[in-house]
Structure 1
Amino acid sequence: MKLHEKKESAIHKVQEVPLDEVNLTKEYDVEKTLGEGSFAKVLLATHKKTQTKVVLKAVHQELTSEKDFFREFHFSYHLSPHPNILSSYAVAFKAENCYVFAQEFAPFGDLAGNVRAGGLSEDVCKKIASQLASALDFMHSKQLAHRDVKLENILVFAQDMSKIKLCDFGCTKREGSLVSKITCTWVQFLPPEIHEVIKNERYTCKKSADCWQFGIVLFVCLTGNPPWQSAVPIQDPDYSAFQRWLKTRLNVPPNFRRFTPRLLRFFRRIFEHKPDKRPQVTEINKYLKDNWFVNKISHSATSTSVDVSESFLKKAESLMYLDTMIDDRHNIDENKNKLRKLLSSYGLETTVDQKVVTKRIWEWVMQCDSNVGESGLISGFGTDSM
């Protein structure tokens, strides 16, 4: 067996050892409860002997089996070496009818507490996307799926988001294993294939579900809201509109119109309905040097200024794409159809000479630039080539 195969097999072999019963108040100064749910509570404490500040995750024994506790502790500890995964210490014990293990403390809380109304700036979102993709890619390389990627499970170690870490591996499973629906995750983050699973029915765990959730996290960071409430077309009009756009490439959904064609391409790919066709999370790295917003709108609560020159540049780039599309004689028929669809979606006539079309679009773009408030209109240009 090769060395990398031994390492990979080792991470899937969860070891269970006898746990000592510890008097929590004698060993630790518990400062406060950071969070509490149905199955566990998270405590901020200082280890008296070493004066080390740690977070203690205490899982209720009556609600969690010892096997499940060891699985979470095992994955948390063995994934710790990655710089964007929360560090867990080799400390586990029983206390106050709970299974407990120790982790590092995140001074700025989780991402849910840091994403404000309207979302974060583009630069900050790119930092988050890059680091989260790296953490998930590391897990996926070990054939592990996180299964509960959401803002609450991403901890913040620097206010400028230059250091974030993925946490909470209680739902982590090996790809290909049979699993049940997670009841504690947000419905907005579930991919369609999991929505389709009947209650109490088991399904095959796939890393592609993490990729979908990664896309939802990114969208929320950019806008402050999820793209839809449920990825079920008959239940959610926003998701239904997104699905129609995927099929027809006409009429970009309103909540996606703020994004450039490049980022729209990423969202189309990551929100692919068929799990096996979704790209890996590292796909986002191809888009980090692109502009993501059609206009650079300030995310300050008091400022609504727009960088006009950058706005026009993006519009001009979109038009240059159209010019290239028109002049490409090798694909002229296909490009004509694409152009007609694009113009039709914005109510422009299509029964005119293409040179006239180009001239009219130039005039239209200039007019749009004079009214920067209508920034969403241009976002659909160029999406058909992606």
Structure 2
Amino acid sequence: MRSDRLGRIHRIQQPALEQLELARDYEVLKVLGEGCFAQVLLARHRRSGTTVVLKAVHVELARLSDFHREHHYSYHLSPHPAILSAYSVAFRTERSYVFAQEFAPLGDLAGNVRAGGLGEPACKHVARQLSSALEFVHSQDLVHGDLKLENVLVFAADMSRVKLCDFGSTRRAGSLVSRTATGCAWQPFLPPEVCDAVGGERYPCRAAADCWQLGIALQVCLTGCPPWRCADAVRDARYAAFLRWQRRRTTHVPRQFHAHAPRLLRLLRRLLEPCEEKRAAAGEVAKYLRDAWLQGRAPPSPSPGPARATASNPLDRKMAAGRVWEWLLACDGSAEPGVEGV
């Protein structure tokens, strides 16, 4: 029975898309995000009055098969409570392939993380939900491929309800991909096996890469910044220091982990294991949620920071995200925070 279920999720249908005139069928309320490849629009369906988010992928820059794959995986994975709901609504306009998703009123996680982090309770909410979502994705023999803060949408200010989104980079486990094909723009989120890939060299995508990105995402939520710029000991001194500690060549805990309690250090050590075959699975996170994660200081409030996202101003996040990610842009000039995480 499991093989039948997995067979269905991997049989990607490519039905003909009805061509619509967007302005005739939808009232566009707001452009939530825009990048080179797509726009994300908050829109109201004129006939039903339903408010949805439309992801419009430019036809000149995307293959129809890639659009169908993203919509297929988004729709079939969305029954999980920690994965964004995608609807069986797909069409094309003169310029775009379009599908519909639910609206997240508080924007993405990048726009809600403030300097100093979210605080322990909020981080544990995020960890519980994202690890569960990834465990479900991996149970379908799939790899998300682009877990970063922009691809986690927020539905509650205390982070008790967040959802994983953007399955544009999702592939069947073991599929050959290249760094240029992965959607992860931020160098600090790339695991060492991906950092080691050269240019357009193809390598098999593994669930372990998602688990590494989960560990980086949790560190950013806890501290407000990633632990290093690149998982390459030659190019990054902070990663080199972590690697010495990880391999038990020193007892000195790296500075970026000083506030962490022993059990959290163990969890991060397992998620950020450089050898992908030894890396912890996403489901292992659940074993650490009852333990203390931070020590020596009271955790800050889990509410959003100064550039606060609200239902009336859902994605006014550039200032807040910029505070956390400014130096990342400097180290990866090609990175563009944009629509893929909306």
Structure 2 length normalisation: TM-score? 0.86
Q: Are residue 287 (structure 1) and residue 281 (structure 2) matched?
A: no
Amino acid at match of 1:222: L
Q: Deviations over 1:107-135 (max 9, x none)?
A: 00000000001001101100010000010
Which residue does the alignment assign to 1:232? 232
Which is worse superposed, 287-296 or 61-70?
A: 287-296
Q: Per the alignment, in what secondary structure is the counterpart of residue 11 of structure 1? A: helix
Q: How does 1:1-386 map to 2 (within 5 A)?
A: 3-181=1-179, 182=182, 184-247=184-247, 248-299=249-300
The structural deviation recorded for 1:300 is 5.8
Displacement of 1:299: 2.2
Q: Deviation of residue 180 (structure 1)? A: 1.3
Where relative contact order (Cα < 8 A, 6+ residues apart) is larger, the structure is 2
Which string of whole-angstrom CA distances, capped at 9 and with x for unpartnered residues, describes residues 204-230 of structure 1?
A: 110000000000000000000000010
Once residues 184 and 140 of structure 1 are traced to their aligned partners in structure 2, the CA distance between those partners, rounded to angstroms, is 18
Equivalent position amino acid for 1:91 in 2: V
The Cα shift of 1:184 comes to: 4.8
- Structure 2 alignment gaps of length 5 or more: 303-342
Amino acid in structure 1 at the alignment position of 2:138: H
Deviations 1:112-165 (A, max 9, x none): 000001001101100010000010000000010001000000000111111100
Deviation at 1:249, TM superposition (A): 4.3
Q: Which amino acid aligns with 1:256?
A: F
The question of whether the paired residues in 1 share the 8 Å contact of 2:184 and 2:190 is answered with no
| Partner Cα separation in structure 1 for residue 213 and residue 301 of structure 2 | 27
Question: Does the residue aligned with 1:255 lie in a helix, a strand or coil?
Answer: helix
The secondary structure found in structure 2 opposite 1:115 is: coil
Q: What SS is found at the alignment partner of 2:123?
A: helix
Structure 1 distance, partners of 2:129, 2:123, is: 10
| In structure 2, distance between residues paired with 1:107 and 1:293 | 29
Partners of 2:142 and 2:207 within 8 A in 1: yes
More helix by share: 1
Structure 1, unaligned runs of 5 or more = 302-386
* TM value normalised by structure 1: 0.76
Q: Which has the larger radius of gyration?
A: 1
Q: CA RMSD in A?
A: 1.2
Q: Give the fraction of aligned pairs with identical amino acids, expressed as a percent.
A: 55
Task: Give secondary structure in 2 for the equivalent of 1:200.
Answer: coil
